Amino acid sequence: MIIRSSHGGLTGLRNLRLIFFAGLLVSMFVLTVKLLQPVSIQLMFDGQRIELTQQPAFYALSDVVLAAASAFTAGVCAVCLALGVGEASEDVSALNVKVDLSKALDGVEDEAEKAVLSLVVESDGSAFQSDLVERSGFSKGKVSLILDRLEARGIIQRKRSGMTNLVTIIRSH
């Protein structure tokens, strides 16, 4: 699963993992506090009220609901972290080859190619093809043809990601 960031890169992935981790911590804290906090119970005998405290075996309905919700949230967050939700897949990670992005535009003569490639450079070396269409102002077909030419020359690589392609610079000139 890849989350798009505002500039088309993969920075949103770190934020998603942080959210899962924070959700796990908060849920576990709430669950622990609710399970360890004694509940006071009030009993009525012939109009007199007797209050008992420190009864950890008794829980009010609101405590049970809160504990169940916290346990569920903690479980979901733990499973998402264990399964790697919010991490780039191995295929996408393999595309993130370290290249000198400042030299990526060297040797590219066509102005349209330069424009699209510079958008990828601005996105730290990887961007979604649909974002390139939006940001460049070119049609889908034109961006696809430009990327075909850049890919044929070994400058970029496209990897399918959901309904779009992840475009990554793999070689600088």
Burial of 78 (C-beta count, 10 Å sphere; 0-12/13-18/19+): middle
- The structure tokens listed for 119 are 């958008």
* Tally of residues, the chain: 173
Taking 50 as the threshold, does the pLDDT of residue 5 lie above it?
Answer: no
CA-atom Rg of the chain in angstroms: 27
108-145, pLDDT tens digit by residue?
888 888 899 889 888 888 899 999 999 999 999 999 99
Taking 60 as the threshold, does the pLDDT of residue 89 lie above it?
Answer: no
Choice among 11-20, 134-143, 153-162 with the minimum mean pLDDT: 11-20
**% of the chain with per-residue pLDDT over 70:** 68
**How far apart are the C-alpha atoms of 157 and 123, rounded to whole Å?**
15
Please state the φ and ψ torsions of residue 26, each to the nearest 5 degrees: -65, -45
Taking 60 as the threshold, does the pLDDT of residue 56 lie above it?
Answer: no
Q: Where are the beta strands (DSSP E) in the chain?
A: 39-45, 48-55, 126-128, 156-161, 164-169
What's the pTM? Answer: 0.44
Please indicate whether residue 40 or residue 97 has the higher confidence score (pLDDT).
Answer: 40
**How far apart are the C-alpha atoms of 132 and 115, rounded to whole Å?**
10
Taking 60 as the threshold, does the pLDDT of residue 20 lie above it?
Answer: yes
**How far apart are the C-alpha atoms of 40 and 32, rounded to whole Å?**
18
Mean pLDDT, the chain, integer: 76
Nearest one of 37, 83, 89 to 60, comparing CA atoms: 37
Please state the φ and ψ torsions of residue 2, each to the nearest 5 degrees: -120, 130
